[in-house]
Amino acid sequence: MDRRPLGRSEIVIEPLVFGGNVLGWTLPEEEAFSVLDAFVDQGFTAIDTADVYGKGRSETILGNWLKARGNRDAVHVFTKVGSEMAPDKTGLKAEYIKQAIEDSLKRLQTDYVDLYQAHKPDPNTPQEETLEAFDLLVRAGKVRVIGASNSTPEMIEEAQTLAVHKTLTRYESEQPEYNLYARQTFENGVQQACIEHGIGVIPYFSLAAGFLTGKYRSEADFDKSPRGARMAQYLDERGKKILGALDTVAERTGATPAEISLAWLLAQPGITAPIASATSVDQLQSLIKGVRLELSEDDLKLLTQAGE
């Protein structure tokens, strides 16, 4: 199985990151352990969460699982800071980051995280202040590698320049929204900036909140899951064209639309590993098939053109 480095760091991961946003939401703790067990049993190691998911519930469940299995050293734990936990607990100021990491470590029941990410840009805090705060955490051994999310090309350039000029730990990863449907923001500068700086890319919403599974074909399908209400934004002419292309490739390959969508993502330049969630072992097995699927050039071209 192909393994890829996270940026220029020593962290090397398999081409699938488990999306921990479902932990405690659509995946209760009593069922989460079996899904996480199946994930690592297949040789995967990276699990992405955030303090804000369930207001700490996701991190807590992940921490309980790590403790129960005693496998902390065999798992790469990714978490994030910056989204609002409370009115006075938000953003990327140094003092807040200092407290937020301690809260996350406590919930995760560990003394370090492998990747600590800025969840979103903070217009009220200079990037230099944030990088300095992250740098202190790396030097203290509480964080191995740092990353950013939802950055613009300009933010990426600024952060990389600051890291060099101020001798600070640099961002080794970027977490953008990117999938067959949502392409413009990433492909319009962010992708190239990440490639030029050797930054790993771990896209979220890899399946467009479930739209690319193919189970949402009309408004009548919106009640199929808690995410169904989001599907209206995707079910336009372009979305229908993408579903049609996925159906065509599915007929050729025997793979599901979700599997094909993940295979397309991994074929794009600069992508390290997509983040995808599963609420059952069966769903997880399908995701794994997707990241192991190799599409033909004709199939990749058809899918790419459908989303343009």
How many domains would you assign to the chain? 1
Residues 6+ apart with CB under 8 A from 5: 11, 12, 200, 272
Largest CA distance in the chain: 55
> Is residue 236 assigned to a domain?
no
What proportion of the chain, given as a percentage, has pLDDT over 70? 96
> Which amino acid appears at position 223 of this protein?
D
Instruction: Give the pLDDT confidence score for residue 1 in this predicted structure.
Output: 61
Local confidence band at 108 (pLDDT 50, 70, 90 cut-offs)? very high
Per residue in 268-288, pLDDT (tens digit) is: 999 999 999 999 999 999 999
Instruction: Give the pLDDT confidence score for residue 230 in this predicted structure.
Output: 74
**For residue 170, what is the domain's CATH number?**
3.20.20.100
CB atoms within 10 A of CB 235: 17
Distance CA 202, CA 193 (A): 14
Distance CA 235, CA 153 (A): 29
Paired residues of 117 in beta bridges: 80, 147
| Residue of 301, 294, 217, 230 whose CA lies nearest to 262 | 294
Distance CA 236, CA 258 (A): 19
> Is residue 173 assigned to a domain?
yes
Residue 226, pLDDT above cutoff 70: no
> Scanning the structure block, which residue is given the tokens 């189970």?
215
Distance CA 147, CA 175 (A): 8
Local confidence band at 217 (pLDDT 50, 70, 90 cut-offs)? confident
Cα 193 to Cα 13, 122, 141, 153, distances in angstroms: 21, 20, 28, 6
Fill in the DSSP letter of residue 231: G
> Is residue 280 assigned to a domain?
yes
Instruction: Give the pLDDT confidence score for residue 224 in this predicted structure.
Output: 65
Residue 178 designated active-site: no
> Is residue 86 assigned to a domain?
yes
Per residue in 135-185, pLDDT (tens digit) is: 999 999 999 999 999 999 999 999 999 999 999 999 999 999 999 999 999
Instruction: Give the pLDDT confidence score for residue 72 in this predicted structure.
Output: 98
Question: Which domain range does residue 39 map to?
Answer: 4-207+258-296
Residue 80: both structure tokens together:
């994030």
Residues 6+ apart with CB under 8 A from 131: 146, 159, 162, 163, 166, 168, 169
Per residue in 241-258, pLDDT (tens digit) is: 999 999 999 999 999 999
Residue 206: both structure tokens together:
């890899």
> Is residue 214 assigned to a domain?
no
- pTM given for the model: 0.95
Instruction: Give the pLDDT confidence score for residue 232 in this predicted structure.
Output: 77
> Scanning the structure block, which residue is given the tokens 């999306």?
19
Strand 143-149's sheet: what is its strand order? 200-201, 171-175, 143-149, 113-118, 76-81, 46-48, 17-19, 275-276
User: Mean pLDDT score of the chain, rounded to an integer?
Assistant: 95
> Is residue 233 assigned to a domain?
no
Which strand (E) or helix (H) includes residue 47?
strand 46-48
Distance CA 89, CA 70 (A): 31
Are 164 and 137 within 8 A, CB to CB? no
> Is residue 113 assigned to a domain?
yes
Per residue in 174-203, pLDDT (tens digit) is: 999 999 999 999 999 999 999 999 999 999
Distance CA 25, CA 226 (A): 10
Local confidence band at 221 (pLDDT 50, 70, 90 cut-offs)? low
> Is residue 8 assigned to a domain?
yes
Question: Which listed residue (53, 116, 178, 204) is catalytic?
Answer: 53
Paired residues of 13 in beta bridges: 4
Instruction: Give the pLDDT confidence score for residue 164 in this predicted structure.
Output: 98
Distance CA 260, CA 295 (A): 8
Residue 82: both structure tokens together:
């910056």
Local confidence band at 231 (pLDDT 50, 70, 90 cut-offs)? confident
Residues 6+ apart with CB under 8 A from 128: 162, 166
Instruction: Give the pLDDT confidence score for residue 233 in this predicted structure.
Output: 83
